């Protein structure tokens, strides 16, 4: 009995968006440099230990950040980082109340 014909999958097992290059390219600002540094460190450690746990953790962590950045846009992500830095430095940031926030959402949803 002949083996069934092998057909390669339409896409590779690892989705392109989860590759180190795709994650790097989706990151902005200092996060890109931090990813490069941490990924390089974990790759070097993995080469010595034959354990990819650290590499996979870096890819998972920065992959989520890259996804959020792409979903909200680079400018919005940079604004969020600037606000987080201001809060860490003890500076105040502008905020809006829940009622105004609901009104903006309803306006966007045309309610």
Residue 103 belongs to some domain of the structure: yes
Is 4 a residue whose pLDDT tops 70?
no
Task: Determine the 3-state secondary structure of 21 from DSSP.
Answer: helix
Q: Can you give the residue range of the structural domain that contains 84?
A: 16-108
With a threshold of 0.75, does the pTM exceed it?
no
User: Tens of pLDDT along 35-87?
Assistant: 999 999 999 999 999 999 999 999 999 999 999 999 999 999 999 999 999 99
Residue 5 belongs to some domain of the structure: no
Q: Determine whether 81 is exposed, middle or buried from the number of CB atoms within 10 Å of its CB (0-12, 13-18, 19+).
A: middle
* Domain count of the fold of the chain: 1
Measured CA distances, 77 to 13, 27, 81, 90 (Å): 29, 9, 6, 20
What pLDDT is stored for residue 15 in this prediction?
45
CB atoms within 10 A of CB 35: 22
What average pLDDT score do residues 25-44 get? 96
């Amino acid at each position: 009995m002949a083996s069934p014909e092998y057909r390669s999958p339409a896409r590779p097992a690892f989705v392109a968006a989860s590759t180190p290059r795709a994650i790097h390219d989706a990151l902005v600002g200092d996060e890109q440099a931090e990813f490069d540094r941490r990924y390089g460190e974990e790759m070097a450690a993995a080469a010595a230990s034959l354990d990819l746990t650290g590499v996979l953790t870096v890819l998972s962590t920065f992959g989520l950040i890259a996804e959020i950045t792409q979903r909200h846009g680079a400018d919005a992500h940079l604004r969020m980082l600037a606000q987080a830095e201001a809060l860490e430095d003890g500076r105040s940031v502008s905020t809006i109340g829940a009622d105004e926030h609901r009104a903006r959402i309803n306006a966007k949803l045309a309610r």
